[in-house]
Amino acid sequence: MANVLIKDLREISKGFSKKPEEWPHIPCPTCVRGVLRPVADSFVDEETVASKSWRSHEAWDPDWIQGDFLCILACPNGTCDRVRIVGDSRVRETGDWDGEQYEAHLTPTMFFPALPLIQSRRLCPKEVGDRVDIAAKILWLDPNSAANRIRSAVEALMDEHGIIRYKPDRRGKPSRISLDERISTFKAALPQHAEAAGMLLAVKWIGNVGSHEGVLRVPDVLEGVEFLDYALSLIYDTNHDDIKKRAADVTARRGRPSSSSIAGS
């Protein structure tokens, strides 16, 4: 299934202006379906001390202004938890041809509670879901660490399917099996999940870069999250099989209503 959450999160990762009406769709972590909006008078934007000190420089321009912002967000569903958002505020040129103009650009660094990452959260095993939840908490502040947690979710998924982590080395001592090899074993043991295995391998590579190179940005991690979510849906979402069966039934009847639907009408 397509992950509409990822589309929303990618837009959020681009940052947004101070105008609430221009904010992207921010999904509610409680109900997932609701759109979070700023609570009236909760927005605070403060310039840093260092930024204020730069104003005396002869070359100062408004795009030197830096600060921090915080805001409380609420879902239209009154029973959902409120969400706190914290982030960086920077002034940028707008590129307006009518003159040199500037506006504040906001980049989130934390949401609390964390925003949801995967639509298959309720379907996946607890340990896998728990590791995704940890990634969600740190995604905006430390994308590379988040990528590592998403990779560890793949390790947990291999554990769930009984794919061993260790094997004896030449001296008979336990030797850790690489995630590549574990995914290959998973694919061989469960060939019906070959497509999912391909997705998981891509997640592993993204996690490796996060662990060893530290060059990932939020959108890079979200790509891995999307691959993981798709793999989980392939493995655990039984709706796929149900839809295929229903389509086959309709084809067999050449589109005519089934006897049960006629009887129930």
Quick: pLDDT tens for 221-240: 999 999 999 999 999 988 77
Q: Are residues 79 and 189 in the same domain?
A: no
> Average of pLDDT values for 8-19?
94
Q: Are residues 191 and 133 in the same domain?
A: yes
Bigger pLDDT: 38 vs 264: 38
Q: Are residues 36 and 123 in the same domain?
A: no
Whether residue 38 has pLDDT greater than 90: yes
Distances (CA, A) of 88 to 62, 85, 120, 216, 239: 16, 10, 31, 18, 41
Q: Are residues 12 and 131 in the same domain?
A: no
Lowest mean pLDDT among 3-17, 131-145, 231-245: 231-245
From 49, 83, 116, give the residue that closes a domain.
Answer: 116
**3-class DSSP state of 252:** helix
In terms of residue numbers, what domain contains 222? Answer: 119-252
Whether residue 160 has pLDDT greater than 90: yes
| 8: in domain | yes
**Are β-strands 44-47 and 66-74 bridged in parallel, bridged antiparallel, or unpaired?**
antiparallel
CA 81 vs. chain centroid, Å, equals 19
Please, which pLDDT band fits residue 260 given cuts at 50, 70 and 90? low
Q: Are residues 205 and 241 in the same domain?
A: yes
Integer Cα distance of 68 and 11 in angstroms: 20
| 7: in domain | yes
